[in-house]
């Protein structure tokens, strides 16, 4: 649960002069852990390990923010039995706004999750008590202090994608009757309190927030993250976005809901790249720097910025497979196609370099990889746009 030499290689190879990197989601505490071998940031050892990453990025002239993460109900209690967690003396998973089990949206049957014990049926998380909320917020503060020790330029609060803070925001996972539930203002309270706490630790311009607004189209949500339902997404996310104006954020990042688990991994046929923007409407509400991510191509990103919809666009998939993505976008070079099947291979459990640090830069042998023209992303209905070099 500490970054290692491959993390140093991965992030430093993608660092550019003046460019901003945002880390993978990083657990703030033992209670936050919900996936195999994801790095954390609550111990001195973890901070020291991250320092090697930030030093390497800074040596290239880059900037790097640490994305602070609490998975909430996505975790399962058995994660807390990991020796590193169970001996921490700290609260353990799984917790949420309310004790609502993660179930299939149509069958209402419990979903399953992969844990250290194998595949398990999801169980109801423990609802955080009102008395625990100051402790939870302090966990975020502590992670921010560790981020400073580790040399990060800032932190990004992960308040999106059906994880803990999003579980408070959404009505389907927040059934509380206290000051953290019920009204839209109450459901956004934790988001605001954590954002405020992080700003107090990090200072102005060194905190960012990520949200994933959804909307109702013909009565249905256009995106459900981990089966998180919401009766009033347009209203609650309007309030959440507007509330971020009160904090001196570096930026607010909004996820465009254009990814589907049905994606076949072929960017030539992935229709998500062609879906229209749905969260640009928040540009009129948020007055600071607005960033977007999710389903962008270099061309659509440039258009979103030129149109004034967003100030910045972040890339994930294409940055994984193209360490020199910035240079390729600048000169229009073909992009190396990502291997979706290796995205979540843990480097701690045998994944190693494959699909992590073995993607080639321009001029290097392509090996098993393929390239495609930037203009062909999402357009082609066949593999004819792929060319093996």
Active site residues: 163
Going by C-alpha positions, the residue among 363, 370, 374 that lies closest to residue 389 is 370
Burial of residue 61 (number of CB atoms within 10 Å: 0-12, 13-18, 19+):
exposed
Between the CA atoms of 110, 114, 115 and 119, what dihedral angle is there, to the nearest 10 degrees?
70
Helical H runs in 126-261?
133-149, 164-169, 184-187, 189-202, 233-243
CA angle (18 as vertex; 160, 256 as ends), nearest 5: 25
Q: Comparing C-alpha atoms, which of 103, 129, 145, 322 is closest to residue 229?
A: 103
The DSSP code for 239 is H
CA dist 252 and 290 (Å) reads 5
CA-derived radius of gyration, the chain: 20
How many other CB atoms are there within 10 angstroms of residue 159's CB atom? 26
Q: How many CB atoms lie within 10 A of CB 234?
A: 13
3-state secondary structure of 133: helix
159: closest CA among 185, 201, 187, 131?
187
Q: Characterize the bridge pairing of strands 220-221 and 216-217.
A: antiparallel
């Amino acid at each position: 649960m500490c970054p290692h030499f491959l993390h140093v290689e991965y992030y430093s190879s993608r660092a550019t002069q003046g460019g901003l990197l945002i880390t993978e989601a990083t657990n703030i505490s033992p209670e936050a852990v919900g996936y195999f071998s994801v790095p954390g940031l609550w111990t001195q050892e973890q901070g020291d390990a991250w320092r090697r990453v930030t030093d390497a990025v800074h040596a290239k002239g880059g900037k790097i923010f640490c994305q602070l993460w609490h998975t909430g109900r996505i975790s399962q209690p058995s994660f807390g039995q990991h020796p590193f967690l169970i001996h921490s003396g700290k609260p353990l998973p799984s917790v949420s706004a309310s004790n609502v089990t993660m179930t299939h949206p149509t069958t209402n049957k419990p979903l399953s999750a992969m844990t250290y014990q194998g595949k398990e049926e999801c169980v109801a998380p423990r609802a955080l008590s009102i008395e625990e909320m100051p402790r939870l917020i302090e966990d975020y503060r502590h992670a921010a202090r560790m981020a400073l020790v580790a040399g990060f330029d800032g932190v990004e609060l992960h308040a999106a994608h059906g994880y803990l803070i999003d579980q408070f925001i959404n009505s389907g996972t927040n059934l509380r009757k206290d000051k953290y539930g019920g009204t839209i203002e109450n459901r956004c309270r934790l988001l605001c309190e954590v954002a405020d706490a992080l700003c107090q630790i990090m200072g102005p311009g060194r905190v960012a927030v990520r949200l994933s607004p959804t909307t109702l189209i013909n009565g249905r949500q256009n995106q459900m993250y981990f089966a998180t339902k919401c009766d009033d997404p347009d209203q609650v996310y309007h309030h959440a976005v507007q509330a971020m104006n009160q904090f001196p954020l570096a930026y607010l990042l909004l996820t465009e809901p254009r990814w589907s688990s049905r994606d076949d991994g072929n960017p030539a046929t992935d229709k998500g790249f062609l879906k229209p923007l749905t969260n640009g409407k928040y540009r009129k509400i948020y007055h600071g720097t607005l960033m977007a991510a999710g389903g962008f191509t270099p061309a659509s990103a440039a258009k979103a910025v030129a149109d004034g919809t967003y100030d910045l666009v972040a890339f994930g998939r294409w940055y994984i497979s193209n360490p020199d993505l910035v240079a390729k976008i600048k000169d229009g070079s073909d992009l190396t196609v990502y291997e979706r099947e290796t995205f979540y291979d843990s480097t701690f459990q045998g994944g190693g370099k494959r699909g992590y640090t073995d993607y080639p830069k321009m001029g290097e042998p392509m090996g098993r990889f393929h390239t495609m023209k930037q203009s062909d992303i999402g357009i082609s209905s066949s593999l004819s746009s792929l060319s093996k070099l």
